[in-house]
Structure 1
Amino acid sequence: MFGRDPKPVQDPWTGQSSPDPDVGASSVIAEEGVKRGLKNRHLSMMALAGIIGPGLLVGSGGALSSGGPASLLIGFGVIGLIAFAIMQSLGEITTLYPGGGAFISLAERFVDKAFAVSVGWSYWFIWVCVLANEYNVISSICVFWSDKVPLWGYFLIFWFVFLAFQMLGVEAFGEAEFWLAWVKLLGLTAYFIFSIVYASGGLIGQDEALGFRYWRDPGPWNNNGFRGVAQVFVFRSTFYAGVESVAVAATECKNPGVAVPQAIRQVFFRIIFIYMGSAFFFGLSCPANADGLINGGSRALQSPMTIAIQNAGWEGGVQLINTFIFLTVLSAVNSSIYIGSRTILYLAKSGGAPRFLSYTNRRGVPVYAIILTNLVGTISQMNNSTGAAAAYSYIVNLSGVSTFLVWASISFIHIRFRNAWKIQGRSISELPFKSLWYPWIAYFGLAANIFLALVQGWTTLSPFEAGLFVDAYVLLPLFGIVFVVFKLVNKTHYWRLAEIDLVSGRRRDLDKIGGEEVLDEEAGYVGKKPAWWKKMWKDI
C-alpha cells in the first residue's frame, strides 16, 4: 500500500478529480491555488464568533459614550437587520456558485468587471483598517501590562508572529479560529452572567441592586438624542463587518454545499446572542459617562467590560477582562489577515490587482497577498502620536463607509442574479438555498446601506469639521473613481440580464440538491435529506 497513489475521487461539488480520498481536505483548487482545508465546524465558528474583537469589546465604549445605552441597543438592532438581509442574499448566490473570489467573482459575473474591482478594493480596505485597529489594541494592552517595551516594539513582535503563523496554511488558521472562537463565546457568556448578578445585587459585598440605574442617570440617550444614535452608526457597521466573510472562506472549505448554508443560518444567532446581548449588558452594567469611555487621549483603550468590573469593586477582574480581550484580539488579527489576503488574491487573479499578488506556494498560501495585507497594518502606529483611542476612531471612520458600500453591492448583485434567473427561464425551485422574503429583503438591504453610506457622516456638518468630514466621506468618491478608471482603461462590459452566464461554475449537483438528496457534511457524498427536526438541532 505504500508508494501507491490513492485512487482519484471525483469531487461532487466541483466535478474535479482529487487524489485525496477525503475530498477537498488537501486538494488544490486550480483556479485560485488555495487548498480546501477548512472543515464545516471551522466555518461555523467563523460565522458565529470569528471576528469578535476590539470592535465589539472595546469600540462599544465609544459608541456607548456617544449615544447612551438605548442608542447602542437600537443601533445594534438596526444594523443587525441589515446584516441579516445581506447574509440572506449572499447565502443564495454563494451556495449556487461556490467558486473562488466570493462576491468579487459574483460582481464580475452579474454586473461588470470594473464594478467587481471597486467592490474588491473596498472590501480589502475594510480589513486592513480592522487589522490596524486590532494591532492598535493588542499593543496598547501589552503596554498597559508592562511599559518596558515601547508600543512599536510590541507591534513588531506581533507583526512577525502573525506573519509566520499565516504561512502555516489554512488548516492551522481554521483550527486556531475554532478554539479561540469558543473562548470568545464562553467569555461573553460569563460576562452576561456577571451583569445579571451585578444588576440584581447578588455580588459579594454589594450593598444594593444596580438595576437600570444607568438608564436613568446619565439616561438612555446620554443627553444626545437622535444625534447620538446617528453618530455611532459607523461604529456599529464596523462591529458587524465580517458576517459576510464566510463567502470568502467558502473557497477553502471542504464541503461548501453544507457549510455555507449552515453558517448563513447561524448569523441570526450571532446577531441575537452576541451583538444584541452585548449591547444590552454593556448599557446595563457600564455608565455612558464613565471617564474611561470618553477620555479620547488615553493610550490604554477602555472596554465597558473593564469599567463595569472596576465599578463592581473587583480590581483583580480587570486583569481577567484584559486577558480575555487580548485573546479575542489574537483571533481577530488572525481573521483580518486571512480575509484581507484572500480578497487581494482574488483581485489579482481577476486582473484587478498586480499579478504577483496571485502567487500561492505549494501549501496553497498566498504569500505576497499576506505580506501586503499585514504590511498595511502598520498604520496602527499612528497611535504613537494621537493616542490609542483617537487612532481607533480615525481608522474606524475610514473603514465604516466601505462596509455600507460592500453590503449594498451584495444586495445589488443578488437582485441582478434573480432578475437574470427569471429572464432566462429558470425556476426558483432549482435553487439549493432560497433567500427569505425576496425581493423585499434584497431591496431593503440595498436602500438601507446606500442611505447609511450617505448620512453616516452628517454630524460633521453642524458644526462643520473639515477633517472629520473628509474622514467620513472620502471613500465614497474613491469607489466611483476606481470603477470609472478601470472601466475606461480595460473597456469592461456591463452585462445585460439575458447575457449573464448562469451555467459555468455552478454546483454540479443542483438537481439532486433541489430534490430529495443532499451532500453529506464531511465526506462529500450524496445521501437522503435529513428530517427537519434533525436540521434544526444541528443548527443549534
Structure 2
Amino acid sequence: MFGFKQPDKTTAYDGGFESHEVEPGVDDNVRQEIDPDSGVKRGLKNRHLSMMALAGIIGPGLLVGSGGALENGGPASLLIGFGVIGIIAFSIMQSLGEVTTLYPGGGAFVSLAERFVDKGFAVAVGWNYFIIWAAVLSNEYNVITSIFVFWSDKVPLWGYFLIFWSAFMAFQLIGVEAFGEAEFWLALIKLLGLTAYFIFAIIYASGGLIGQQHAIGFQYWHNPGPWNGNGFRGVAAVFVFCSTFYAGVESVAVAATETRNPGVAVPQAIRQVFWRIIFIYMGSAFFFGLTCPANAPQLVDGASRSLQSPMTVAIQNAGWEGGVHLINAFIFVTCLSAVNSSIYIGSRTLLYMAHRGLAPRFLSWTNGRGVPVFALVLTNAVGAISMMNVSTGASKAYQYIVNLSGVSTFLVWGSISFIHIRFRSAWKVQGRSPDELPYKSLLYPWNAYFGLGANLFLALVQGWTTLSPFKAGNFVDAYILLPLFPIIWIVFKLFNRTNFWRSWEVDLDQGRRVDLDRAKAETALATGAKQKWWQKVTKAFL
C-alpha cells in the first residue's frame, strides 16, 4: 500500500550495537560511525540523551500554554492535571524502559509495535506520533514569531517565520553532535531559569520584594478561587493542555539509535523522569498558581501570545513592567531548544518508519553526515501550520493545535502500555523469565494496565467540555484525530494483509541485545545501583 517497501530485517544486537561492531573500551571516534541499518550517526553522548527528555519537554508549551490551562481550570486544576498526567507519564516510561533496554534498535516504539502487535498498528502509532511533533513544532513557531512581533512589528509575522525556518533547517543539517551539545547547554539554562522563577515566587508570596507592601500568600486560591469558577469542567479542560506539556518524555527511545551507548544512556534517562516530574512540572504548576491570578486579563484576552505566560503576569503584578522582556527572552531560549527537539524527533520518526516500510521510502535517505535530509525538510515544512495565527490570532491558533496534539499523545502513550503488555505476554508464553530482563518495570502488570486504561479514558473525555454548550468547531477539533488511529490501522491491515501476532509467534530474538549479563551490568551502572545517595540525586538532574 502507498508504494511503501519493507526493507530486509536487521541482524541481532549486542549492547545496542551490531555484534560485529566495536567492543567496549574502543576509541569514541569509532563509536560515532554511521549506523549501518538506519544511516544515522551515533554521535549523542550519554549526557546529551539524559538532557534530551528535559530539553525537549521544557518549551513554550509549559511556560506559555500553562496560562490557558490556569485560566480554564484555576490553580487547583493545574496541580491536579499536572499530577495525574505525571503519574501516567511515569507509568509509560517504566513500560518503555523495560522494552527498549532489551530492544534498542532504530524506530523505538514504532518498531516495537510492529514486532509485538501488528504492522498496521505500527503505522497508526508512527503517524500519530508524527502528528504530535508536527503540532508541537507548529505551536513553537507560533510562540517564537509572536514574541518577535511583540518586540518589533516592522517585519511581518510570516517574515519572522521564514527567517527562523531557514535558521533551524540549517542548524539541523550540521549533524546530530551539534544538536546534542546545543540541547545539553540549553537544558541547563532552562533549569536555571525555572529555579530563579521559583525563588522569585517564594519571595513574592512571602512579601519580601523591595517595595512590596504585603505578602500575597495564597490569595489567588481564594480569589478568584482554586477552580476559577469552573469546577470539574475546568479540570477536564486542563488534561489536554498537560498532556501536550508532557509530550517528549518518551523521546529518549527515539534517540537511542544515535547514542553511543544506549544500554547505559536509555535506562539512565528513564530513571530521571520521576525527579523531573516533581521539580519541573509540579513545581511549575504550584508556583504559577501561587503568583498568577487565573482571571488575569492577559490570560483571558491578551493580544499577544507572549503576554499570556503566567510568569510574565506575575512579574508585572509585582511591579516590574520591564520584566516582560526578560520573560520573553527566557521563552525565546526555550523555543530554540523546543523547535530543535521537535524537528529532530519528528524527522527521526519519519526516517525509522520509512526504513521499516511504513512511510514513503525516499524519507529514509541520509547524507554523508548521517542526516535524514528529506525527513527533516518535510517535518520542518509542517511547521507552517503555525501561520494560521495570521488570520485567527496567536491565542486561538495555539488552542486549536493543542487540541490536535493532545488526543494523539493519549493514543500513543496508551499504545506504549499495550506494547508492554503484549511483550510480557510473549515473554511468558515462550518460557522466558522476568529475571532475565536488564531493566524491569516497577509494579508490572498494574502500571501497564493503568497506563492503557487511563490514556484511553482521557482520549475519550478530553473534549467533554465542548458538549455543553455544544460547539461544533471545538468538538471537531477535539475529536477529529480519535478515529484516525483505527482507520489507519484497519485500512493498512486490509490492503497489506498484515498479521496480528499471537504470543507464541512473536520473535523475541531478532534485534535483541544478545548478552543479557552485560546488559544487566550496564543497566545497573546507569541506574546507580552501587552509588551513594548524593551521587544518585546529582545524576537525577545532570
- 2:201 matched to 1:198? no
Q: Which of 164, 175, 184 is 2:190 aligned to?
A: 184
Q: Which residue of 2 aligns with 1:363?
A: 369
Displacement after TM superposition at 1:48 (Å): 2.7
Cα distance in 2 between the residues matched to 1:282 and 1:24: 47
Report the residue type matching 2:222 in the other structure.
R
Q: Which of 396, 399, 407 is 1:393 aligned to?
A: 399
| Partner secondary structure for residue 438 of structure 2 | coil
Q: Which of 213, 224, 228 is 2:219 aligned to?
A: 213
Conserved? CA contact 2:150–2:306, under 8 Å: yes
Q: Which of 65, 71, 92 is 1:86 aligned to?
A: 92
Conserved? CA contact 2:103–2:512, under 8 Å: yes
Q: Which of 236, 242, 251 is 2:248 aligned to?
A: 242
Displacement after TM superposition at 1:54 (Å): 1.2
Conserved? CA contact 2:44–2:260, under 8 Å: yes
Cα distance in 1 between the residues matched to 2:510 and 2:37: 13
Displacement after TM superposition at 1:504 (Å): 1.2
Displacement after TM superposition at 1:92 (Å): 0.3
Give the alignment's Cα RMSD to 1 decimal: 1.8
Q: Which residue of 2 aligns with 1:147?
A: 153
Q: Which of 5, 13, 18 is 2:16 aligned to?
A: 13
- 2:521 matched to 1:536? no
Report the residue type matching 1:16 in the other structure.
H
Displacement after TM superposition at 1:25 (Å): 3.8
Cα distance in 1 between the residues matched to 2:529 and 2:136: 40
Displacement after TM superposition at 1:31 (Å): 1.1
Q: Which of 505, 508, 518 is 2:522 aligned to?
A: 518
Conserved? CA contact 1:300–1:388, under 8 Å: no
Task: State TM-score, norm by structure 2.
Answer: 0.94
Conserved? CA contact 2:97–2:266, under 8 Å: yes
Conserved? CA contact 2:263–2:519, under 8 Å: no
Conserved? CA contact 1:127–1:339, under 8 Å: yes
Displacement after TM superposition at 1:76 (Å): 0.3
Cα distance in 2 between the residues matched to 1:281 and 1:299: 20
Q: Which residue of 2 aligns with 1:224?
A: 230
Residues 18-37 of structure 1, C-alpha deviation per residue, up to 9 Å, x if partnerless? 59732764211111111111
Quickly say closer, same or farther: Cα 1:400–1:85, change in 2 above 3 A: same
Residues 475-530 of structure 1, C-alpha deviation per residue, up to 9 Å, x if partnerless? 1111111111111111111000001011111112212334xx437979xxxxx974
Report the residue type matching 2:522 in the other structure.
V
Q: Which of 239, 243, 249 is 1:233 aligned to?
A: 239
Mapping 1:122-521, distance limit 5 Å? 122-295=128-301, 298=304, 300-514=306-520, 517-518=521-522
Displacement after TM superposition at 1:248 (Å): 0.3
| Partner secondary structure for residue 476 of structure 1 | coil
Report the residue type matching 2:387 in the other structure.
Q
Cα distance in 2 between the residues matched to 1:12 and 1:496: 27
Cα distance in 2 between the residues matched to 1:130 and 1:494: 32
Quickly say closer, same or farther: Cα 1:281–1:393, change in 2 above 3 A: same
Displacement after TM superposition at 1:299 (Å): 5.4
Gaps of 5+ in 2: 1-12
Report the residue type matching 1:347 in the other structure.
M
Displacement after TM superposition at 1:50 (Å): 2.7
Cα distance in 2 between the residues matched to 1:60 and 1:225: 18
Quickly say closer, same or farther: Cα 1:200–1:531, change in 2 above 3 A: closer
Residues 303-358 of structure 1, C-alpha deviation per residue, up to 9 Å, x if partnerless? 00000000000122221111000000110000000000000111111111111011
The 10-residue stretch of structure 1 (32-41 or 22-31) with the greater mean CA deviation from structure 2: 22-31
Cα distance in 2 between the residues matched to 1:375 and 1:96: 34
The 10-residue stretch of structure 1 (46-55 or 296-305) with the greater mean CA deviation from structure 2: 296-305
Displacement after TM superposition at 1:149 (Å): 0.6
Displacement after TM superposition at 1:298 (Å): 4.0
Cα distance in 2 between the residues matched to 1:86 and 1:520: 21
Cα distance in 2 between the residues matched to 1:56 and 1:489: 41
Displacement after TM superposition at 1:143 (Å): 0.7
Cα distance in 1 between the residues matched to 2:214 and 2:28: 59
- Percent sequence identity over aligned pairs: 74
Number of residue-to-residue matches in the alignment: 524
Q: Which of 107, 111, 114 is 2:117 aligned to?
A: 111
Cα distance in 1 between the residues matched to 2:425 and 2:293: 49
Cα distance in 2 between the residues matched to 1:362 and 1:34: 9
Displacement after TM superposition at 1:161 (Å): 0.2
Conserved? CA contact 2:14–2:512, under 8 Å: no
Cα distance in 2 between the residues matched to 1:348 and 1:396: 27
Gaps of 5+ in 1: 1-9, 523-527
| Partner secondary structure for residue 57 of structure 2 | coil
Quickly say closer, same or farther: Cα 1:99–1:474, change in 2 above 3 A: same
Report the residue type matching 1:177 in the other structure.
E
Conserved? CA contact 1:23–1:254, under 8 Å: no
Quickly say closer, same or farther: Cα 1:68–1:489, change in 2 above 3 A: same
Structure 1 segments, 4+ long, off by >6 Å, are 519-522
Report the residue type matching 1:235 in the other structure.
F
- 2:109 matched to 1:100? no
Report the residue type matching 2:283 in the other structure.
G
Displacement after TM superposition at 1:445 (Å): 0.2
Residues 205-227 of structure 1, C-alpha deviation per residue, up to 9 Å, x if partnerless? 00000100100000000000000
Cα distance in 1 between the residues matched to 2:63 and 2:242: 12
Displacement after TM superposition at 1:536 (Å): 2.5
Conserved? CA contact 2:22–2:31, under 8 Å: no
Cα distance in 1 between the residues matched to 2:71 and 2:36: 50
